[in-house]
């Protein structure tokens, strides 16, 4: 179906970017408008299931609802096999997906989301439209630098599906959120407000007031009084009890009235910071269950200088034994250690260190060398970037047991007048991309130059952009520029955007991050304007996924999926200095010696703590971590076996 729709849309205004989800009536795709570059959601609706007259009636309703808290429908696209609704794209996923993570949303943000829903409902109710299926799955999220905006989706479609279901099987809606009268087939605008009451209860308590089978739920909604737990502050009790009245007439009379009551209590309680647009002092996301375990090293090696970077590379040294090279950087020196798997002891250091530290560049003393800025271990060896050049320390894998060579072969010397040089190397080490900023004093005319170059080995077989590509950098924060290789044919230029100066304080444009993607042949693929401020972008081991520090919410990390486009936040409890992707999830560390481990779904696996400041960390096998520490002129390289660390990992 995805390729069907792709083919059918070949000559339309939209280009499909990927499947986002599947609803009962069809699939939802992320697509981009070919001319404007605007992202949209295309919701395909099967023709047989939506007879034309009903569909047009619902479409009229949908088109009449234009509000920032409603997922608006912009147009209808006809395709050979059916129709697609063209809707605003919400990159933050659903409220359900956010509620399923191992985090508590801060109170102010939870209340803000409920206030958003009420504002959207007020708009719809004023136009005589009742939603009938308010639940976290139908609340989509737009991401903002400091949190989210809730937007109600499925207006009209929810009611239409109810009608169709009634004809089919008589089973409608989502019983967990259904007001008592809905079980008798009646509904009014207060049925939506009852559902919002359940949703607020769930956000504040972490569970819903009633659970069980559909029959048990029906009986509970109709007869059982609501029990409010002590964990919900008393100030909210009468609000919740009013929203969850069994008799429709005893509830809030309108969304507007309910919203006003919510704002009043939030202000009284001191959790209404969203009302005056201030940032909350509390972390946006608070992990639910974080336990701390002492960091136990399997092996410790004494270091003479602090290692600021560690990079591992699997190698095949001897016929059947896969080993791992570990490169360590201390200022302008790079060292190499070799690890080999051992049947009983896991991964062990073959000898310590095999290659003594050696200067990277020629000059006289180590201290005068330009410090190493980045290392890229690849099959030919380790590419090393300094301020002045990029070069290769050739691989020793092929030379087997011969002593390790320490020659540094320069590949490219940078012109002295260039600033902000970024280099990125393809995973297979066949080509590199270099981004430089042309010297200028005027930010309005700043230009970047992106070049591609084949690397020693079989790189010259690749067709690379023959000429430098000029990138206008107006509106880019140049000091934040980053270059990443996404896969063997794409690179991304990433930078913070400078919002244009605005006239009024209210009208203040929000800052964001620009991600511009190019092919290795130099073709611009597209630009994403991320509504978040990220820094330290790294690739994860999931294709087309990036992660970054969330600069405006320091205890959270951003996960950015490019295909389909999606932004999620992980609550990590620490302000991470290092972000490391592993085959099983993510590791974050800070200089205070804390390491937080999360799985690929963002679930917290635990926290390791050492008293020593961590200067670098990496993994050398899925369960072996290498951690460099440094304190009071003393440092160690620790080998940690995660299977014995006490973390909740399944290997
Ligand atoms: N406008 C949108 N922007 C981004 N993602 C969307 C959008 N609309 C839907 N989605 C995604 O697609 C998924 C399917 O959405 P859809 O509304 O078709 O079904 P549903 O609400 O999950 O189920 P149902 O059809 O039973 O109501 C959602 O879970 C959501 O993740």
Return the pLDDT at 483: 97
154 lines ligand 1 (CB under 6 A): yes
Tens digit of pLDDT for each residue in 189-220?
999 999 999 999 999 999 999 999 999 999 99
- Least confident range of 32-46, 295-309, 331-345: 331-345
41 lines ligand 1 (CB under 6 A): yes
pLDDT top residue among 243 and 54: 243
134 lines ligand 1 (CB under 6 A): no
Q: Give the β-pairing of 372-378 and 381-386.
A: antiparallel
Confidence of residue 279 (pLDDT cuts 50, 70, 90): low
372 lines ligand 1 (CB under 6 A): no
Query: 368 pLDDT exceeds 80?
Result: no
Domain membership of residue 95 (yes or no) is no
Q: How far is the CA of 25 from the centre of ligand 1 (A)?
A: 10
Strands (E), 239-395: 285-287, 292-294, 299-303, 309-318, 321-330, 333-342, 346-349, 355-359, 372-378, 381-386, 389-394
Return the pLDDT at 404: 46
The answer to whether residues 317 and 217 belong to one domain is no
Domain membership of residue 94 (yes or no) is no
Check: CB of residue 89 under 8 Å from CB of residue 73: no
Q: How far is the CA of 244 from the centre of ligand 1 (A)?
A: 27
570 lines ligand 1 (CB under 6 A): no
Return the pLDDT at 51: 66
Rg, Å, the chain Cα set: 28
Domain membership of residue 482 (yes or no) is yes
CA distance 578 to 614: 9
pLDDT top residue among 633 and 394: 633
Check: CB of residue 454 under 8 Å from CB of residue 460: yes
Return the pLDDT at 643: 84
Confidence of residue 317 (pLDDT cuts 50, 70, 90): low
CA distance 558 to 552: 11
CA distance 262 to 264: 5
The answer to whether residues 105 and 31 belong to one domain is no
Place of tokens 């949303």: 105
* Tokens describing residue 592: 């205070």
Place of tokens 């009634």: 166
Return the pLDDT at 187: 84
Q: Ligand 1: which atom is nearest the Cα of residue 27?
A: 18
Q: How far is CA 475 from the centre of its chain?
A: 23
Asked if omega into 564 is within 30° of 0 (cis), the reply is yes
Q: How far is the CA of 84 from the centre of ligand 1 (A)?
A: 13
Residue nearest to atom 11 of ligand 1 (CA): 21
153 lines ligand 1 (CB under 6 A): yes
Return the pLDDT at 230: 95
* pTM as predicted: 0.89
- Site to probe by mutation for ligand 1, drawn from 91, 140, 565 as the one with most ligand atoms within 8 Å of Cβ, is 140
Return the pLDDT at 613: 94
Q: What is the mean pLDDT of the chain?
A: 84
Residue nearest to atom 27 of ligand 1 (CA): 23
Residue nearest to atom 24 of ligand 1 (CA): 23
Residues 6+ apart with CB under 8 A from 39: 17, 30, 31, 32, 33, 89, 91, 565
The answer to whether residues 80 and 212 belong to one domain is no
- Site to probe by mutation for ligand 1, drawn from 5, 17, 26, 28 as the one with most ligand atoms within 8 Å of Cβ, is 28
Q: How far is CA 66 from the centre of its chain?
A: 28
The answer to whether residues 335 and 370 belong to one domain is yes
Residues 6+ apart with CB under 8 A from 114: 150, 196, 199, 200, 203, 262
Q: Which of 257, 282, 307 is at the close of a domain?
A: 282
The answer to whether residues 425 and 568 belong to one domain is yes
Return the pLDDT at 136: 96
Residue nearest to atom 18 of ligand 1 (CA): 23
Q: Which of 87, 113, 140 is at the close of a domain?
A: 87
Q: What percent of the chain has pLDDT over 70?
A: 83
The answer to whether residues 485 and 336 belong to one domain is yes
Domain membership of residue 96 (yes or no) is no
Domain membership of residue 367 (yes or no) is yes
110 lines ligand 1 (CB under 6 A): no
Tens digit of pLDDT for each residue in 61-116?
788 899 999 999 888 887 766 778 899 999 999 999 999 887 888 899 999 999 99
Closest CA to 77 of 40, 38, 35: 40
- Residue 128 sits in a domain whose CATH number is 1.10.510.10
- Residue 460 sits in a domain whose CATH number is 2.130.10.10
The count of domains in the chain is 3
Domain membership of residue 149 (yes or no) is yes
pLDDT top residue among 48 and 340: 340
Q: Which of 87, 119, 147 is at the close of a domain?
A: 87
Domain of 356 in residue numbering reads as 292-644
Confidence of residue 644 (pLDDT cuts 50, 70, 90): confident
Residues 6+ apart with CB under 8 A from 392: 380, 381, 382, 383, 384, 408, 409, 411, 455, 456
The answer to whether residues 58 and 176 belong to one domain is no
The answer to whether residues 401 and 498 belong to one domain is yes
- Least confident range of 162-166, 408-412, 527-531: 162-166
The answer to whether residues 277 and 304 belong to one domain is no
Please state the three-class secondary structure of 185-226 as a single string.
Answer: CCCCHHHHHHHHHHHHHHHHHCCCCCCCCHHHHHHHHHHCCC
627 lines ligand 1 (CB under 6 A): no
The residues annotated with a catalytic role in the active site are: 133
Q: Ligand 1: which atom is nearest the Cα of residue 28?
A: 12
The answer to whether residues 72 and 15 belong to one domain is yes
pLDDT top residue among 585 and 368: 585
Return the pLDDT at 161: 54
- How far is CA 354 from each of CA 123, 339, 397, 636, rounded to the nearest angstrom? 70, 10, 13, 17
pLDDT top residue among 620 and 507: 620
The answer to whether residues 163 and 185 belong to one domain is yes
28 lines ligand 1 (CB under 6 A): yes
Query: 388 pLDDT exceeds 60?
Result: yes
Tens digit of pLDDT for each residue in 10-48?
667 888 888 998 877 778 999 998 888 889 999 887 766
Q: Ligand 1: which atom is nearest the Cα of residue 94?
A: 31
The answer to whether residues 577 and 517 belong to one domain is yes
Q: How far is the CA of 316 from the centre of ligand 1 (A)?
A: 46
The string of DSSP codes covering 482-498 is: EEEEEETTEEEEEEEE-
CA distance 612 to 589: 12
Residues 6+ apart with CB under 8 A from 200: 110, 111, 114, 236, 240, 243
331 lines ligand 1 (CB under 6 A): no
Q: Give the mean pLDDT of 156-162.
A: 60
Query: 170 pLDDT exceeds 80?
Result: no
Check: CB of residue 483 under 8 Å from CB of residue 492: yes
Q: Ligand 1: which atom is nearest the Cα of residue 154?
A: 17
405 phi and psi, to 5 degrees? -85, 150
Check: CB of residue 36 under 8 Å from CB of residue 116: no
Residue nearest to atom 30 of ligand 1 (CA): 21
* Tokens describing residue 96: 């359900």
Domain membership of residue 93 (yes or no) is no
Domain membership of residue 442 (yes or no) is yes
429 phi and psi, to 5 degrees? 70, 30
Strand ordering across the sheet containing 372-378: 372-378, 381-386, 389-394, 409-413
């Amino acid at each position: 179906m995805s390729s069907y729709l792709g083919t059918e849309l070949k000559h339309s205004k939209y280009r499909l970017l990927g499947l986002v989800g599947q609803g009962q009536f069809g699939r939802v795709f992320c697509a981009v408008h070919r001319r404007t570059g605007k992202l949209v959601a295309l919701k395909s609706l099967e023709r047989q299931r939506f007879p034309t007259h009903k569909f047009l009636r619902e479409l009229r309703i949908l088109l009449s609802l234009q509000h920032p808290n409603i997922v608006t429908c912009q147009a209808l696209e006809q395709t050979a096999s059916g129709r697609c609704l063209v809707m605003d794209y919400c990159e933050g996923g659903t409220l359900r997906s956010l509620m399923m993570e191992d985090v508590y949303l801060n109170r102010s943000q939870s209340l803000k989301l409920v206030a958003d829903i009420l504002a959207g409902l007020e708009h719809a109710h004023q136009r005589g439209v009742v939603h009938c299926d308010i639940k976290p799955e139908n609340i989509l999220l737009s991401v903002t630098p400091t949190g989210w905006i809730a937007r109600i989706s499925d207006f009209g479609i929810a009611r239409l599906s109810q009608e169709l279901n009634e004809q089919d099987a008589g089973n409608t809606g989502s019983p967990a959120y259904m007001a008592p009268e809905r079980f008798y087939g009646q509904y009014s605008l207060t049925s939506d407000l009852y559902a919002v009451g359940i949703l607020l209860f769930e956000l504040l308590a972490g569970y819903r007031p009633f659970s069980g089978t559909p029959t048990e739920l029906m009986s509970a909604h109709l007869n059982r009084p609501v029990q409010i737990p002590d964990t919900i502050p008393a100030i909210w009790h009468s609000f919740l009890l009013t929203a969850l009245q069994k008799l429709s007439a005893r509830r809030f009379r309108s969304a507007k009235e309910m919203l006003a009551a919510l704002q009043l209590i939030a202000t009284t309680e001191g959790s209404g910071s969203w009302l005056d647009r201030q940032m909350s002092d509390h972390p946006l996301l608070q992990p639910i269950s974080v336990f701390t375990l002492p960091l136990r090293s399997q092996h410790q090696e004494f270091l003479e200088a602090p290692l600021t970077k560690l990079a591992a590379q699997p190698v095949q040294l001897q016929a059947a034994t896969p080993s791992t090279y570990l490169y360590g950087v201390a200022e302008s020196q790079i060292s190499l250690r070799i690890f080999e798997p051992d049947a009983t002891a896991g991964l062990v250091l073959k000898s310590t260190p095999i290659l003594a530290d050696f200067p990277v560049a020629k000059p006289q003393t180590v201290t005068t060398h330009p410090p190493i800025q980045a290392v890229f271990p690849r099959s030919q060896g380790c590419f090393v970037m300094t301020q002045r050049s990029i070069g290769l320390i050739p691989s020793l894998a092929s030379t087997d047991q011969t002593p390790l060579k320490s020659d540094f072969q320069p590949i490219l010397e940078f012109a002295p007048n260039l600033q902000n040089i970024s280099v990125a190397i393809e995973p297979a080490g066949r080509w590199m991309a270099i981004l430089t900023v042309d010297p200028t004093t005027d930010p309005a005319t700043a230009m970047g130059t992106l070049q591609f170059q084949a690397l020693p080995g079989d790189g010259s077989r690749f067709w690379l952009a023959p000429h430098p590509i000029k990138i206008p950098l107006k509106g880019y924060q140049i000091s934040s520029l980053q270059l990443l290789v996404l896969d063997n044919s794409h690179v991304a230029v990433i930078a913070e955007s400078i919002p244009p100066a605005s006239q009024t304080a209210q009208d203040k444009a929000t800052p964001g991050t620009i991600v511009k993607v190019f092919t290795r042949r130099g073709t611009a693929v597209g630009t994403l304007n991320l509504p978040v401020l990220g820094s330290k972008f790294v690739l994860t081991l999931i294709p087309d996924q990036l992660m970054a520090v969330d600069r405006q919410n320091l205890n959270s990390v951003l996960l950015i999926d490019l295909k389909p486009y999606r932004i999620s936040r992980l609550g990590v409890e620490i302000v991470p200095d290092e972000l490391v992707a592993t085959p099983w999830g993510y590791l974050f560390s800070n200089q205070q010696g804390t390491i937080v481990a999360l799985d690929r779904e963002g679930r917290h696996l635990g926290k390791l703590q050492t008293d020593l400041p961590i200067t670098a960390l990496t993994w050398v096998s899925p369960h072996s971590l290498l951690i460099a520490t440094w304190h009071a002129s003393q440092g160690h390289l620790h080998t940690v076996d995660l299977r014995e660390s006490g973390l909740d990992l399944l290997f």
